Amino acid sequence: MGYSIALAGNPNCGKTTLFNSLTGSKQYVGNWPGVTVEKKSGDIKGTDDELVDLPGIYSLSPYSLDEVVARDYLLNGHPDTIIDIVDATNIERNLYLTTQLTELGIPVVIALNMMDLFEKSGDKLDIKKLEVLTGCPVVPVSALKNSNVDALIRVALDAAKTGGFKPLFHYSGLLQKTIDKVGALLLRDGIITENASWFAIKVMERDGRVLKKLDIPNETMGHIESITQDLERRLDDDSESIITDARYQFVTDIVDKAVIKAPDSMTMSDKIDRIVTNRWLALPIFALIMWGVYYVAVSTVGSYATTWITDVFFGQIVSGNLTAWMEAHGTAEWLISLVNDGIIGGVGSVLGFVPQIMILFCFISFLEDCGYMARVAFIMDRLFRRFGLSGKSFIPMLIGTGCSVPAIMSSRTIEDIEDRRMTIMLTPFIPCSAKLPIFAMIAGAFFPTQTWVAPSMYFVGIGMVILSGIILKKFPFFAGVPAPFVMELPKYHMPSFRSIALHVWDRSKAFIIKAGTVIFIGCTIIWFLENLNWQMAFVEPAESILASIGGFIAPLFLPLGFGNWQSTVAVLSGILAKENVVATFGILYGVADATENTGAVASQISQLFTPVGAYAFMVFNLLASPCVASIATMYRELGGWKWTLRAIGFQTGMAYLMAFLVNQIGSALFYDQGTVTAVVIAVVLAALLLWLLISDYHGGKTNLTYKETDL
C-alpha cells in the first residue's frame, strides 16, 4: 500500500469532483452542500496510493454526523498528506478551515479550485504570496475541467514522501503563550504525545468530544481551566471566541495581502438570483420549471419513447418473436405464458419507463449542477422555517428525487437529532424514480390531456412534508426550534456533459438493475400467484391465490376509491419495490396484448377506477411506506425498530387519510357519489387538518442562509 491522502474542505468546494478525476471513480457530484455524507476511498489512477474523500466541513469543531466522520479520520486515520480544497470564489471563508488543518501536524497542500470562475470575477490572486503567508504549497486547479490536477497530486505525494510542509499557525501574544502552557501540561501528564497545540486549543474551547476522548484528570483539568479563565478575564471574552477571532484576523490579513478585489460590480449569478430567489417570484418560477421538466419527461418526449418501447419493442418485437419461437419448438403453454405474460409483461412494463426516467434526471441533473437547486433549498428554507422545519431537510429531499435510500442517509448532515428523525420520516414523501412509472401510467390512462397531473405529485409531496411537519411539531418528540440552516450558494456555471451523463446513467442503471433482479423475481412470483389456486391448479386470474388475497384485503381500500383485488395486490407488491406496482398491472393485463391493442395496459386499468379514484391511488402510493430497501435504511439511521415503526405507521396513515379525503371529497364534488357519512368524515378531517395548519406552531423565522463571503 502506498501513501494515504485526505481530501478536506468546505461543503460544495469540489472534493468529490476532484476525487473522481484522480481515481476514475464515478461518484455523482451535486452542486449543493451535503452530497458526501461518509468518507469514500479509492486508489489514485496508475498508483497504489489511497485518496480519501471526506464529507465537507467548515471547521474541526463538528456538530453533525458527517462532520464527525471527517474529523475522526483526520485525527485517527493518520493520512500522510491533506489536500485542502479551497474554493477560490469564496477564499476568505474557506481559509478558516485551513488554519485548523495546519494545526494537526500533517503536511497540507492547498488546491485552489474553481480558478476559472475566480478569473471571470475580475479579482487577482498572488499565488506565491499566498504560499508564503499560509506556509503551504498552493496549486491552482479546476476539478470540473480536470485542469492541473496531475500537478496537484505530484505536489501532494512529494509532501507525503518528504514529510515536509508542516506549517503551524502561530497566534500572537498572550493567546499563543496560553496555548503553549496548556499544551505543555497535556504533554507533561502523558495525556497526549503529539499535536500539542491542536489539543490545547480544543481543550481551551471546551470541545466535548475531545474532552471525553482525553479523559483529563480533575487536577490537570482544574489547572487548565484556571489558565483559560485567566485568558478570558484579561481579553474580556470566552476562549472559543478569542481563538475564532484570531483565526479570522489571520485569514483577513492573508486575503488583504494576496487578493486584489475587482471594483464592486454585480455578477451574472447576482443578476439571475435577483429574479429566481425573489420573494414573490421564486416559488412560481420553481413550479413552472418543474412543470416543464415533467411535461417533457412524462407527457411528451418521454411518453412517446415509453409507448414505443412498451408497445412495439416488448409488445411486438420481443414478445411476438419469442412466442413464435417457443411455439415452434413445442414449449408448454404455461411456460409460454410465464415468459410472455409474467416476465416480459411485468419487467417490460417497468423498463418501458426508462426513457422518461432518463429525461427527467437529465433535466434535474442540469438544474443541480448549474447551481439552481441550491437556490431551491434557499427558497424552501424560507418556507420550511415558517412551519417549524429545518431548511437543511430539503437537501435530502432533493436527493430523494432519485432514490430514498441515499436521501435518508444524507440526513446525517443535520446535527439536531429531532430534525434528523423528522427528515427521515418525511423524505420518502418526495417522489423518487421508482414512483415515476406509477404516475406516468395513471396519468396516461386517466388524464392523457392533463399535463398538470404527473408534476402535481411533486408538489403534493412537498405540501405533505410541510403539513406533516406542522402535525409532528405538536408532539413532544419533535417540539422545539429547528436548527439554523447555513449554506453557501455556488456561482452559476454550465455543467459538464460528463457530469450530467454520469448522473443519468447512475440513476438509470440502478433502475434497470432493479428491474432485472428484484422486479424479475417479483414478477415471477406474481405470475404464479395469478395463475394458480390454493390447490396448485391452473385457473383463471379471478379464481387465483392472488385474487383471493387481494379480495380479502380490498374492502380496506374501498373508501379510497380502489377497492378491487387488482389494485390491492399492486399496492402490496410495491412494498418490495415501488416499480412492482406497474409490473403487477403489466402481468395482469400483459404487454403482449399490445400487439393487437396499443396501450392495452392503460385501457384495462382505466376500467378499475374513476379518475378521482385513480388520483387517490397515486396519492396513496406517493405517501405510503417506501420500499424495503428504504425501510432498512431508516432502521439503520433511526437506530432501531421503535422509530422505524413509528415512521412507517405515520407514512402509511397519512397516505390512507389523504387518499380517503381525495376520493370522498372528489367523488362528492364531481360525481355526486359517496355516502353522507363518508363525506361528513372527510369534511371533518379536512377541517382538522386546516386547524392544524393555522394554529400556533413551533419554530422561528430566522434564515441563516448565506450567499456572500461574509465571515
Closest CA to 381 of 333, 414, 340: 414
What local confidence, expressed as pLDDT, does residue 226 receive? 93
Q: Is the pLDDT of residue 34 over 50?
A: no
Instruction: State the average pLDDT over residues 441-450.
Output: 88
Each as own residue / partner, the long-range contacts of residues 470-478 (CB below 8 Å, 24 or more positions apart, any chain) are 470/387, 470/388, 470/692, 470/693, 470/697, 471/692, 472/422, 472/425, 472/650, 473/387, 473/388, 473/697, 473/698, 473/699, 474/692, 477/418, 477/421, 478/418, 478/421, 478/422
Helices of type H across 427-452: 436-446
At 29 the pLDDT is 46
Instruction: Between 283 and 25, name the one with better pLDDT.
Output: 283
Summarize pLDDT for 172-191 with one digit per residue, the tens.
788 989 999 999 999 988 89
Residue-level pLDDT at 597: 36
Q: 224, 192 in Cβ contact below 8 A?
A: no
- 8 Å CB contact between 686 and 669: no
End-to-end CA distance of the chain: 41
Distance separating alpha carbons of residues 640 and 434, to the nearest angstrom: 25
Q: Name which of 171-175, 332-336, 555-559, 589-593 the model is least confident about.
A: 589-593
Look at residue 63 in the predicted model and tell me its pLDDT: 66
Question: pTM of the full predicted structure?
Answer: 0.71
**Mean pLDDT of the region 548-568:** 93
pLDDT of residue 370: 85
Task: Using alpha carbons, select from 518, 577, 557, 514 the residue that is nearest to residue 660.
Answer: 557
Specify whether the CB–CB gap between 81 and 3 falls below 8 A.
yes
pLDDT digits 0-9 by tens, 347-396: 887 888 888 888 988 898 888 888 888 888 788 877 787 777 777 787 78
Residues 37-76: tens digit of each pLDDT: 567 888 888 888 899 988 888 888 766 666 788 888 888 8
- Determine the average pLDDT of the residues in 432-461: 90
Q: Position 470: which residue type?
A: I
Give the other-Cβ count within 10 Å of 498's Cβ: 12
Q: How many whole angstroms separate alpha carbon 208 and alpha carbon 609?
A: 59
pLDDT value of position 38: 66
Taking a C-beta distance cutoff of 8 angstroms, is the pair 583, 347 a contact? yes
SS3 for 82? strand
pLDDT of residue 646: 92
**Section 521-531 average pLDDT:** 88
| pLDDT band with cut points at 50, 70 and 90 for residue 595 | very low
CA 98 to chain centre: 27
User: Could you tell me the domains of the chain?
Assistant: 4-162 (3.40.50.300), 173-260 (1.10.287.1770), 282-607 (no CATH)
